[in-house]
Amino acid sequence: MGDFLHYKLPNSTPVYKTGKFLSLAALESYDGFLVTDFTKSRLFGFEESDCEASFHFSKEVINETSKEEYFEVGNQMLSLIQNRSLEKVINSRIKKIDLEVDLSDLFNKLASENPDAFVYLISSDLFGTWIGASPETLLEFDGDNYKIVSLAGTKKSNDFSDWGEKEVVEQEIVTSYIQNELDSLEVDFIEKSDVVEKIAGPVKHLQTTFSFKSHKSIHEIIHKIHPTPAVSGMPKDVAVAKIIELEKHSRSLYSGVIGDLNKHVFVNLRCMQIFEGYGLLYLGGGYTKDSDVELEWQETENKAKTLLSIIEKM
């Protein structure tokens, strides 16, 4: 049986495809719809065909993250920040929910209620079934014209108070990283926007947009930029190593790259892996020196509402 690929680019109409996801040996050899894991060690491309498709549900047993486990890892990460091994790091968790819904209907409702997001539903025996509504552009491009966003800092969308120092610093770390990486790529005509609020369903973030020109390949830029400190931390290599060491779970496709390499690719956030009868939400919070583990836990609960608010109405 074939695989499903349903997706909607921001402010566009949904695309529905059938075919087959294939494992890729290298990112550079492919120019189509791409899905990767967090470290880009697993790469999948889609080959469209007119076939009968079905949903594929993983049989892997993956444990939910308890609050005690999240706090334990969070406090270890804060210690690394306090001793200056890290400036920022993302602590993620898994939340398990009961799930008995029509998946195509869930995709359509998620797309309808998140017009500014990249919304997708994918299924393959290579990675199971996933759905998400990501607010974070990794790269948007047309020819040699590119855009990339620095998206970080989180609070409820109905919170109209001033942004706190913790959120401002968190986003500035990502912005500085992207600026430095673009400088090292020697891109042309960099324009950096002012910081604005980006509404993403039940939460909002701080966002800066970079516009630039480059003759580098999309593959080279993705390798250089991803994962940004918005999903890893700073220094990036140390943060990624500590995430792999300390988190009790594999991130799998969460915080990987997803999208069309001919148009627009995103960071895979606000996502859920779907099993028979239940779903696993992947959720993360950005830790800096001013973080509080309890508040970071609550931030992940707020992010979960992107999907839960839709599911609860079905």
What's the pLDDT at 1?
Answer: 84
pLDDT digits (tens, 9 = 90+) for 188-224: 988 999 999 999 999 999 999 999 999 888 999 999 9
Q: Which two tokens stand for residue 54?
A: 């079905």
Sequence-ordered alpha helix ranges (H) in the chain: 67-82, 103-113, 165-185, 218-225, 236-246, 293-311
Mean per-residue pLDDT of the chain: 96
- pLDDT value at position 228? 97
pLDDT tens digits for 144-178? 899 999 999 999 999 999 999 999 999 999 999 99
**DSSP-assigned letter for residue 65:** P
Q: Can you give the CATH number for the domain in which 88 is found?
A: 3.60.120.10
pLDDT tens by residue, 296-312: 999 999 999 999 999 99
One-letter identity of residue 1: M
pLDDT tier at 29 (50, 70, 90 boundaries)? confident
Nearest to 308 by CA among 255, 284, 272: 272
Task: Write down the pTM of the prediction.
Answer: 0.96
Backbone angles phi, psi at 149, to 5 degrees: -115, 150
CA distance 215 to 145: 9
For residue 313, give the 3-state DSSP assignment: coil
DSSP-assigned letters across all residues of 205-230: EEEEEEEEE--S-HHHHHHHHPSPTT
The two beta strands, 118-124 and 196-200, are unpaired
Say if residues 168 and 292 touch (Cβ distance below 8 Å). no
Number of domains the chain contains = 1
The pLDDT assigned to 36 comes to: 98
Contact 262, 34 (CB under 8 A): no
Q: Name the residue with tokens 């509504």.
A: 133
The residue segments making up the domain with residue 234 are 3-311
